[in-house]
Amino acid sequence: MSTATMASGEAAARHTRRNAGLLADLEKQTLIGIAHRLPRWVNSDHLTGLGLVGMVAAGAAFAAGGTHTWALPLVVIALALNWFGDSLDGTLARVRQQQRPRYGYYVDHVLDILGTAVLFGGLIWGSHISPIVATMLLAAYYGVMAEVFLATASRGEFRMSFMGMGPTELRLVLAAGALALMRDPQVTIAGLGRFGLFDVGGVVATAGLVTAFVVSGLRNGRALYREEPLPRRAVERRPRVSLW
């Protein structure tokens, strides 16, 4: 492993978390309070596993909701379990001084990638979103994740939100969408007709994620260029020739 790779790995493990979501402050205080009250036999690994189970359950509920609308409220419960496990595992480790920076960073995000794929699979299976819109949205989401991971490795800063939208806010939007499907799976756009609720939401979300990718990429690229400007080429010094 090269020195540069080791340095980037250490930066990713010891990064600064930035969450400017609308509910970030309230969420932080709530999670700390819950962490202090959890029984000692519960550890961060248990919570990480619960987070994955919650996301898989949300995908399964979306899949079942295609033919059984009674399954759609289960999406809300599953997302709540995902929030509890995925948001609380790191907080519990910090409260108990049991941090494992590299392990936690790696495992948490690998499972996030897996869980997101399962969630989108459930949306497609339940016919709530068209495959092409789901593919566009998933690609945009993974692109943003990749940019965030690169920024974390190169700058030591892990941004968790964009324009007030973080993981918790996105879960709430997704839960609201699941309940809205029970009333009407389509929306009317004036002058254009009726379209699938999640297709419309997916197109809007894709545009937002692409914007976030471009803005963050430009911001981080400019910051890194300022920190590491292009070295000036050394001017070769030639010996002076005396005419005398």
Residues 6+ apart with CB under 8 A from 159: 18, 19, 148, 151, 216
Quote the pLDDT of residue 151: 92
List the domains of the chain with CATH numbers: 11-227 (1.20.120.1760)
Question: E strand or H helix at 168, and its extent?
Answer: helix 167-183
DSSP 128: S
If the chain, 244 residues long, is cut into consecutive pieces of 10 residues, what is the mean pLDDT of each piece?
47 67 89 95 95 97 95 97 94 92 92 95 96 96 94 88 86 95 89 91 95 94 91 63 56
**In angstroms, rounded to a whole number, what is the distance separating the alpha carbons of residues 64 and 48?**
25
Quote the pLDDT of residue 87: 92
Quote the pLDDT of residue 157: 86
186, β-bridge pairs? 196
Residue where the block lists tokens 């999670």: 31
Quote the pLDDT of residue 51: 96
